Amino acid sequence: MRKYKLIKFLLLAALTLVSLFALAPILLMVLNSFKTSAELAGNSWGLPKLWTLENYRLLVDFNSGIMVRTFFNSVFVASSYTVLTLFVSSLAAFVFSKLKFRGSDIVFVVLLATMMIPREITMPAIFLMFSKVGMLNTYAIQILPGIANVFCLFMLRQYMDRLPDSLLEAALLDGAGYLKIFQKVILPISKPALGAMAILVFLEKWNDYLWPSVLLTRREVMPIMVILPTLNVGSSVYAIPWNLIMTGCAIVTLPLVIIFLVFQEQFMSSVTIGAVKE
């Protein structure tokens, strides 16, 4: 028993140490967002000597409010992308899981094979395709191309495969159609998987930098992740306002925390995926 308690104590100590290392950069970022530029240069590791919200005011007013505009661009794009991706993926997962058709397994394997193709290889073709239809520098180009998310489809199908077929049979006997079954039966039961995927999909789109930086040239439609690294107050590297960058980084983490808190229950219950039995 003593040996077991010692091992448990050592594991807790190790996990606590790892957690502190993981949280240290985030805590440092938040603390530095309350420091002036001069204090940040001389005291980047300690607590602020004088707590101030001036950095947040300066960031809001920076370049005629471009940071506020791009922040809400990111919120709109990431939210729309998440909703559309979950809808398309869950509907496709329902078809592949419960509505078997000839060649469905082959089509699914082909879709999974596309995950092995690097994103950078398809980007030039996608750029040319959307430039022909005049969709560059729009919100649509940031949302529509990625809503057919194969990874999301795969995860949701794996979850739905474990749902008992008797639920569908009972609903069909009651006269419900497949769309009604999907809406009233499958979606409510799949909330844990949908909540977990909502966090992952939103995080993926929110942190996306390469795609919008290639396809967008108008700052008015860019997400904040593209604008934030370009902050400067002069023409040299020494003119980079690190206090504003720290403040911007603190702000962009806020939606991620909110999304996790909203879907926390579903995300934690997704640990039991696969426990549903016939």
Q: Where are the domains of the chain?
A: 54-272
Closest CA to 219 of 82, 71, 78: 71
**Residue 173 pLDDT:** 86
Architecture of domain 54-272: Orthogonal Bundle (1.10)
pLDDT at 67 > cutoff 70: yes
Q: CB within 8 A of 56, min separation 6: which ones? A: 33, 247, 251
Q: What is the mean pLDDT of residues 113-138?
A: 87
Q: Indicate the average pLDDT of the chain.
A: 86
> Which tokens go with 48?
């602020």
- Which pLDDT band, with edges at 50, 70 and 90, does 239 fall under? low
Q: CB within 8 A of 147, min separation 6: which ones? A: 81, 84, 85, 88
> Which tokens go with 52?
């101030």
Label residue 221 exposed, middle or buried (CB < 10 Å: 0-12, 13-18, 19+): buried
Q: Which of 182-186, 253-257, 264-268 has the lowest mean pLDDT?
A: 264-268
Considering 139-153, 229-243, 258-272, the range whose residues carry the highest mean pLDDT is 139-153
- Which pLDDT band, with edges at 50, 70 and 90, does 274 fall under? very low
Longest Cα–Cα distance of the chain, Å, equals: 73
Q: Which of 29-38, 154-163, 228-237 has the lowest mean pLDDT?
A: 228-237
- Taking only the tens place, the pLDDT of each residue in 140-194 is 999 988 898 999 999 999 999 888 888 888 888 888 888 899 988 899 989 888 9
pLDDT at 131 > cutoff 70: yes
- Which pLDDT band, with edges at 50, 70 and 90, does 235 fall under? low
pLDDT at 119 > cutoff 90: no
> Which tokens go with 98?
């419960």
Question: How far does CA 271 lie from the centroid of its chain?
Answer: 19
Q: CB within 8 A of 191, min separation 6: which ones? A: 266
pLDDT at 17 > cutoff 90: yes
Q: Which residue has the tokens 């590297």?
A: 237
**Residue 11 pLDDT:** 92
